[in-house]
Structure 1
Amino acid sequence: MDLIPKPDQVVSAAGNLAHRVVYGGLADLRPMPRTLIDEGTLREVYHYRPAARASEHGDPVLLVTPLAAPAICYDLRRGCSLVEHLVTEGRRTYVVEYGAVSFRDRNLGMEHWIEEVVPTAIREASAHAGGRPVHVVGWSLGGVFALLAAADDASLPIASITALGSPFDVREVPMVAPLRPLLNLTDGRGAITRLYQAAGGAPQPLVRWAFQLSSFQKLVTKPLAMARNLDDADYLAQIEAVDRFTANMIAYPGRTFGQLYHRLLKGNALVDGTFDLEGRTISVAAITAPVLVFGGASDGIAPIPSVRAAVPLLTGSREVRFEIVPGGHLGMLTGRGARATTWRVLDEWIEQWSQSDEPAPAATPRRTTKAAATTSSTRKATTKKTSATKAPAKKAPAKKAPAKKAPAKKAPAKKTSATKTPARKTPATKAPAKKAAPPGTLGTNPTRRYGSAGSRALGR
């Protein structure tokens, strides 16, 4: 809104305010419909139902949520929902979430997610999709869990891995870097350690406060920003959706929080690409699946250097791609600008590493069969017409007529088949062309970077 609002801006602002008062908000917060297909201890795997008048195709996509974050991070609101986008595109879409964490879960450590939750979700999604390999997409700590699970178990049916805002070097996190020397002084006996041990984990209010603190500047300037954008319904709807996401943050189990705090935050355990778990060492260099890494241009929780640190460690992967996209930690995943940036690159990546779908090769035989049926019906019609015209004229030489006319009749049939042959071969020549075609220009240029102007646009 301009400093001196124009008449149309005043009308829009008044309409938005009235809509919020009458209906309670502007955002369409309806969740995408889904079905539970598997569950266990802090593990719920859901399959999102196909869109109306659309059929699912291609390899399945499994969305891995980070600890403490609700699964609505992938389904923020209609129009800014990665789930909605994938389902609309006809992709088989699944999500694994963990439900509410209570005091009885305090003894669960990171091994529960790396060894049990994520691998089981991958296998269940693959089995539900007919045994196809899975494209695993993890945001924040979900990306770390996905990478460690893939490195720990080479038998998992994984087509590709995508990590969005997953830090590997916490020294590059501005919020943490100044505090690490102070944290190490306590030697594991500080106030934070005593607090989470007594509480059985990190409580929900503390998790919510920490997430808000990561974008403190936006939190302070939020009222002013809303006042300046009262005429922008989409901006206000996004604010509402993010507020709902923040209000639904989940607690950390005690042992898991202790491992994250001591080993990742204080010890920076992932900086060399290895992680010690239950007497063995997991190395991300063992990952053979292709890996796509996203960094948010204005991400304060996982800045670009901390995320990019994972790229040189993935030495065993068939392909590693790093992309910088506009947005903060959540905005890069499901912000208003993600629709034209992050999601486009992700679509191309999944398409690049997907197996050919069953309906695709079936389309060629159907066209060929139709052509063959047309040729066959043409031959039958020609035969009937010829026999109908020739039978009354000469009955006695009727036997000779087919002998003499047979080559003449077969000659057009051969010509017809000759003319139909290119039509049958045309799909065969096009199919390899699609396989041989290089991926789209967006997301394939390793030197391309999105500008900061696009990042700032997400806040408007």
Structure 2
Amino acid sequence: MALPTITIPDRLGAARTNLTDKLRRKPIADLRGMPRDIVEHRASFTLYRYSAVRGIEPRGRPVLLVPPLAAPALAFDLRRGCSLVEYFVHQGRPVYLADYGPVNFAHRGLGIEHWVDTVVPAAVDIVAAHSGADAVHLAGWSLGGIFTMFTAAAHPELPLASATAVASPFDLRRVPLLAVARPIDRVAGPLVGPAYRAMGGVPAPLTRLGFQISSLDKYLTKPLAMVVHADDRDFLAQLEGVDRFMASMYAYPGRTFGQLYHVVMRTNEFATGTMELAGRPVELAKIDVPVLVVAGTGDTLAPEAAVHHLLDLVTGSPDGRLVRAPGGHLGVLTGRAARRTTWPAMEVFFRQYDDSTSTADAR
């Protein structure tokens, strides 16, 4: 069957419609979140379960999504038609999310160990109990992937079927942006500690600025891109989704920022595979479940080399895999290409470890 031909008048008509909607401030993107219910609300996080889709038989073990800090959890559910959550629920997979909510001055004393030893383990146990599943797929993006891996390493007693890290850098010497920042750190470093301790953390505007700097080329060329793609409604809808995401950035808690600053600028501790948390070493080599690593081919914040270094560290995992997918730091998780790359690759991996026999064999 012949495909319809898109003519110049068609494109001009589409561009005119999109421009009219923009001028009228009529949303192009469908920014409704996928339906969900609160499973449990605690002081440090809220656990959500996304509603199953009517007519689709539930199947597979549940996946628990682990967000980073500062970036809002809506990254997993950016917009209708381009939502990782939407994709998984349409596969019939039970989907849960641990949402930490915004950070404020009261959270200034929380460090990485808070998420690794308290928040993520508690969320895993609740998901297992609520779903009735014998094991849970744990999947995190960016710093959430780092939380995921250190949790799996620190708590072998957790009922995990697998652990996935998307765009999570473990060898920070491979991040060009940080190489540029280190000479600045030698001059301004002594001022950083007193500054973030006085503020209780890093304010949301600064975390937003950092994210924008990591994709500065896209940020600067955005007006031109909107003109070039004026007839592409899905492209413009994606920009709206990303704009909302950027406007929803949170602050970083002070102690966690201090730990990360030390790792990033001074020690590159993640690259060793061992991190000191709550007075004891946590070794990634102790992870004994299948591991999936997803790297974005256009990610400047977490380049491929920095991300796939994780596979050199999880030597105790029975199955370590790398998926390379197009997109930057956010795009590899929820860009338009992720529909065909990242999400199906994750689902294929989860399916392989959806029953106890597969997991036992892998171990």
Q: Sort the TM-score into its range (normalised by shorter chain).
A: over 0.9
Q: How does 1:78-93 map to 2 (within 5 A)?
A: 78-93=80-95
Aligned partners of 1:176 and 1:265 also within 8 Å? yes
C-alpha distance after superposition, 1:225-278 (max 9, x if no partner): 101110000000000100100100111111111111113343211111000012
Aligned partners of 2:178 and 2:264 also within 8 Å? no
User: Which residue of structure 2 aligns with residue 40 of structure 1?
Assistant: 42
- The alpha carbon displacement at 1:38 in A equals 1.7
SS of the residue aligned with 1:9? helix
User: Which residue of structure 1 aligns with residue 137 of structure 2?
Assistant: 135
- The alpha carbon displacement at 1:42 in A equals 2.4
Pick aligned residue for 2:10 from 8, 20, 26: 8
Distance 2:321 2:57 in 1: 30
User: Which residue of structure 1 aligns with residue 333 of structure 2?
Assistant: 333
Aligned partners of 2:145 and 2:168 also within 8 Å? yes
C-alpha distance after superposition, 1:428-456 (max 9, x if no partner): xxxxxxx9xxxxxxxxxxxxxxxxxxxxx
Percent identity (aligned): 48
User: Which residue of structure 2 aligns with residue 345 of structure 1?
Assistant: 345
Counterpart of 1:279, as a letter, is G
Distance 2:114 2:186 in 1: 26
User: Which residue of structure 2 aligns with residue 391 of structure 1?
Assistant: none
Aligned partners of 1:65 and 1:97 also within 8 Å? yes
Distance 2:265 2:94 in 1: 35
Change (3 A) 1:115 1:54: same
SS of the residue aligned with 1:59? coil
Aligned partners of 1:148 and 1:283 also within 8 Å? yes
Aligned partners of 1:200 and 1:254 also within 8 Å? yes
Distance 2:44 2:298 in 1: 32
Aligned partners of 1:76 and 1:241 also within 8 Å? yes
* Unpaired segments ≥5 residues, structure 1: 358-434, 436-460
Distance 2:229 2:216 in 1: 19
Counterpart of 2:272, as a letter, is D
User: Which residue of structure 1 aligns with residue 215 of structure 2?
Assistant: 215
SS of the residue aligned with 1:300? coil
Distance 2:9 2:94 in 1: 46
Distance 1:259 1:163 in 2: 20
Range moving further from structure 2, 192-201 or 258-267:
258-267
Count of aligned residue pairs for this structure pair: 352
User: Which residue of structure 2 aligns with residue 260 of structure 1?
Assistant: 260
Q: How does 1:388-407 map to 2 (within 5 A)?
A: none
Pick aligned residue for 1:70 from 62, 67, 72: 72
1:180 aligned onto 2:182: yes
Distance 1:23 1:185 in 2: 45
Distance 2:34 2:16 in 1: 30
Distance 2:309 2:265 in 1: 15
Distance 1:118 1:265 in 2: 26
Aligned partners of 1:60 and 1:132 also within 8 Å? no
Range moving further from structure 2, 169-178 or 15-24:
15-24
- The alpha carbon displacement at 1:218 in A equals 0.7
SS of the residue aligned with 1:26? coil
- Larger Cα Rg: Structure 1 or Structure 2? 1
SS of the residue aligned with 2:263? helix
1:147 aligned onto 2:149: yes
Q: Please provide the CA RMSD for this pair.
A: 1.6
User: Which residue of structure 2 aligns with residue 299 of structure 1?
Assistant: 299
User: Which residue of structure 2 aligns with residue 30 of structure 1?
Assistant: 32
Distance 1:311 1:11 in 2: 49
Distance 2:246 2:25 in 1: 21
Pick aligned residue for 1:21 from 13, 20, 23: 23
Aligned partners of 1:58 and 1:356 also within 8 Å? no
Range moving further from structure 2, 73-82 or 14-23:
14-23
- The alpha carbon displacement at 1:112 in A equals 0.6
User: Which residue of structure 2 aligns with residue 412 of structure 1?
Assistant: none
User: Which residue of structure 1 aligns with residue 230 of structure 2?
Assistant: 230
SS of the residue aligned with 1:178? helix
- The alpha carbon displacement at 1:356 in A equals 7.0
Q: TM-score scaled by structure 1? A: 0.74
Change (3 A) 1:102 1:213: same
Which one scores higher on RCO, CA 8 angstroms, separation ≥ 6? 2
SS of the residue aligned with 1:35? strand
Distance 1:39 1:261 in 2: 30
Aligned partners of 1:183 and 1:266 also within 8 Å? no
Distance 1:91 1:322 in 2: 22
Q: TM-score scaled by structure 2? A: 0.94
User: Which residue of structure 1 aligns with residue 4 of structure 2?
Assistant: none
SS of the residue aligned with 1:15? helix
User: Which residue of structure 2 aligns with residue 315 of structure 1?
Assistant: 315
- The alpha carbon displacement at 1:44 in A equals 1.1
User: Which residue of structure 1 aligns with residue 160 of structure 2?
Assistant: 158
SS of the residue aligned with 1:338? helix
Distance 2:353 2:55 in 1: 26
Q: How does 1:432-447 map to 2 (within 5 A)?
A: none
Distance 1:267 1:224 in 2: 40
Counterpart of 2:92, as a letter, is G
* Unpaired segments ≥5 residues, structure 2: 1-6, 359-363
User: Which residue of structure 1 aligns with residue 128 of structure 2?
Assistant: 126
Counterpart of 1:287, as a letter, is I
C-alpha distance after superposition, 1:64-93 (max 9, x if no partner): 000111111000001100000111111110
Q: How does 1:420-439 map to 2 (within 5 A)?
A: none
Distance 1:35 1:219 in 2: 35
Distance 1:260 1:39 in 2: 27
C-alpha distance after superposition, 1:86-112 (max 9, x if no partner): 111111100111111111111111111
